[in-house]
Structure 1
Amino acid sequence: MGREDVDVMGLGDRGRNILFVCDGNICRSPMAQALMTELVSQKGLAGVSVSSAGLSAMPWTTADRRLSIVIGDAYKSLKGFQSRAINTDIVNQADLILVMENRHVEAIASRFPWAKGKVATVTSYAGEKGEIRDFGESGHSEVLEWLKSCHNTLRVCLNKVAEKVSSQPI
């Protein structure tokens, strides 16, 4: 279900466009976007762009401010961030779509069937188990505790994603 076989495809001069997707595009996917943007910069990954969207996002909502507590300096890259709902143009621009839960893989495959081959959970793409669940399904009683848990999982996974991306030719 997690699509471990999805690979980064350097599509000519388009480079490598990584899209992170969750539900509302205010917590998990912006966190992934900020952390991956930081890794792209640290590792000097030329030609890699990072963005995020939500399956049910309310456009123009800012990222949750508590992210600044959890991700520190990486939060600076979210200055001016506004959530956006996933659409055909966003999907077409992405070379790799990394989602938080298996149900997101299914939703994207249903709404954008041509994109099925470039969608995976961030955990499975990184060779890890599990999903990064929404707060209500996470078992955590406090949002900040949940965000820290998401951060810990994303840190591990995104380092592996960055390694995979850096090993792919453009």
Structure 2
Amino acid sequence: MKILFVCTGNTCRSPMAAALLKDMLKKKGIFNIKVESAGIAASPDQKANPLSSQVMEEQGIQITDHRTRQIQADQLKQANLILTMTEGHKTAVLSGEPSVWNNIFTLNEYAEMEEKDIPDPYGLSKQEYQITAHKIRSALEKVIDKLKDSKS
């Protein structure tokens, strides 16, 4: 299985989501899921936002090797599950690649969370990045449960 996280610039939310999910899956002994991230408006080969890196380091997760990637059609078609950070990202992906309609959800939609979107912390305080990471982790816990349930 392949999961693709999508945000705007691929510097904050989607790399945090990918790193968190990889870490959570590893700790649960789940190794058959490939996790990637990309952005709908990413400048290629940039590092993750420094505050994203700091917040992940506080959780024992390194994302200093992350490099931004612009979303590609083949990447979308190869993903079994595409999780966007906002409804706007979902709409943008679908407008460019409508064939993935049955594999794409916002993260919170798939996790059945109350809040509609994961807000962008870009340009805000470190505390906002910590809040964003917490929201992502909470949603990912439900995603993992859902993935486990679908395999049983």
SS in 1 for 2:10: coil
Identity %: 33
Q: Distance in 2 between matches of 1:74 and 1:106?
A: 33
Q: When the two structures are superposed, what TM-score results if normalisation uses the length of structure 2?
A: 0.91
Q: CA deviation at 1:74?
A: 4.6
Corresponding residue for residue 81 of structure 1? 66
Residues 1:132 and 2:118 aligned together: yes
Q: CA deviation at 1:151?
A: 0.9
In structure 2, the gaps of 5 or more residues are none
Selected match of 1:92 from 77, 83, 95:
77
In structure 1, the gaps of 5 or more residues are 1-15
Selected match of 2:8 from 16, 23, 29:
23
Q: When the two structures are superposed, what TM-score results if normalisation uses the length of structure 1?
A: 0.82
Corresponding residue for residue 139 of structure 2? 157
**1:93 is aligned with what amino acid?**
Q
Matched-pair contact (CA < 8 Å) for 2:82–2:105: yes
Greater RCO (Cα-Cα under 8 Å, separation 6 or more): 1
Matches for 1:52-71 after TM superposition, within 5 Å: 52-71=37-56
Corresponding residue for residue 145 of structure 1? 127
Q: CA deviation at 1:73?
A: 4.2
Q: What count of residue pairs does the alignment treat as equivalent?
A: 150
SS in 2 for 1:21: strand
Matches for 1:96-107 after TM superposition, within 5 Å: 96-107=81-92
SS in 1 for 2:88: helix
